[in-house]
C-alpha cells in the first residue's frame, strides 16, 4: 500500500483485541468520555471537553484532517463490540512522507492492560512496512512516565529535551523527543 492508497480508503487494522478504524459520529459519547477525563488530558496540552458538542466537532476535524492528507487518526475499538476506547494517529508528515509523528490516548478504564502497546505496534508496523516511513517521532511531556515507558518498550530512542516547546494551561512546558527508525523496528 502507498500513502496515496491510505488517503483513498481509510486503512482499517486489526490486532488480537482491537479494530483500529476511522472514528465516526456514533463514537461521540465514547470520545467525550475519553476527552472529558482530566487525567487522560493531563499531558495532552488541551483542556478536557465540556460537552458532547466538543466531541462532535473533534470528529469533524478528524475527517477534515484525513481528507486534507494531514493525519490518519484511528479509533481504538474493542474487536468484540466496536466500543471506542482510545485513539492513535500519524500526523505532521515529512516531505514526501518519509516520516511522521505519532500519538495516542486511552480511556482510563483500559490503562495498564496492554491496549495502547497493541495498537501502537500495529500502526508502527503499518507505517514502516505499508506506508514506507523511514522514521516515526513522538513528543511527550517529561512528566508523562506512562507514555515514556510505552515508547521505550516499543523501541523508541530518547533524543532530547525541547525546552518550553508547547503552551499548556497557562505556561510553557518542555517536551521530550523520541524517534524510531524503520530498521530498528524491523529488528525488534
DSSP string covering the chain: --HHHHTTS---EE-SSEEEEE--GGGHHHHHHHHT-HHHHTTTTSPPP-SHHHHHHHHHHHHHHHHTTSEEEEEEEETTT--EEEEEEEESPPGGGSEEEEEEEE-GGGTTTTHHHHHHHHHHHIIIIIS--SEEEEEE-TT-HHHHHHHHHTT-EEEEEEEEEEEETTEEEEEEEEEEEHHHHHH-
- Taking only the tens place, the pLDDT of each residue in 103-115 is 999 999 999 999 9
- Taking only the tens place, the pLDDT of each residue in 9-41 is 999 999 999 999 999 999 999 999 999 999 999
Which parts of the chain have pLDDT scores under 50? Answer: none
Rounded Cα gap, residues 155 and 150, in angstroms: 9
Residue showing cell 474487536: 79
What domains, with CATH codes, occur in the chain?
Answer: 3-187 (3.40.630.30)
The pLDDT assigned to 26 comes to 97
Rounded Cα gap, residues 10 and 158, in angstroms: 31
Amino acid at each position: 500500500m502507498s500513502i496515496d492508497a491510505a488517503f483513498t480508503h481509510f486503512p482499517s487494522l486489526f490486532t488480537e483485541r482491537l479494530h483500529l478504524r476511522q472514528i465516526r459520529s456514533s463514537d461521540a459519547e465514547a470520545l467525550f468520555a475519553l476527552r472529558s477525563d482530566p487525567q487522560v488530558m493531563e499531558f495532552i496540552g488541551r483542556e478536557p471537553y465540556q460537552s458532547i458538542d466538543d466531541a462532535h466537532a473533534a470528529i469533524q476535524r478528524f475527517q477534515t484532517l484525513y481528507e486534507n492528507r494531514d493525519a490518519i487518526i484511528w479509533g481504538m475499538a474493542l474487536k468484540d463490540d466496536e466500543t471506542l476506547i482510545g485513539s492513535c494517529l500519524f500526523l505532521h508528515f515529512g516531505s514526501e512522507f518519509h516520516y511522521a509523528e505519532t500519538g495516542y490516548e486511552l480511556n482510563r478504564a483500559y490503562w495498564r492492560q496492554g491496549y495502547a502497546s497493541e495498537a501502537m505496534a500495529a500502526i508502527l508496523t503499518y507505517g514502516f512496512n505499508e506506508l514506507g516511513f523511514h522514521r516515526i517521532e513522538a513528543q511527550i511531556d517529561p512528566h508523562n512516565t506512562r507514555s515514556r515507558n510505552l515508547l521505550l518498550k516499543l523501541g523508541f530512542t530518547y533524543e532530547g529535551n525541547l525546552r518550553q516547546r508547547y503552551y499548556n494551561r497557562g505556561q510553557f512546558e518542555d517536551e521530550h523527543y523520541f524517534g524510531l527508525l524503520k530498521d530498528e523496528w524491523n529488528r525488534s
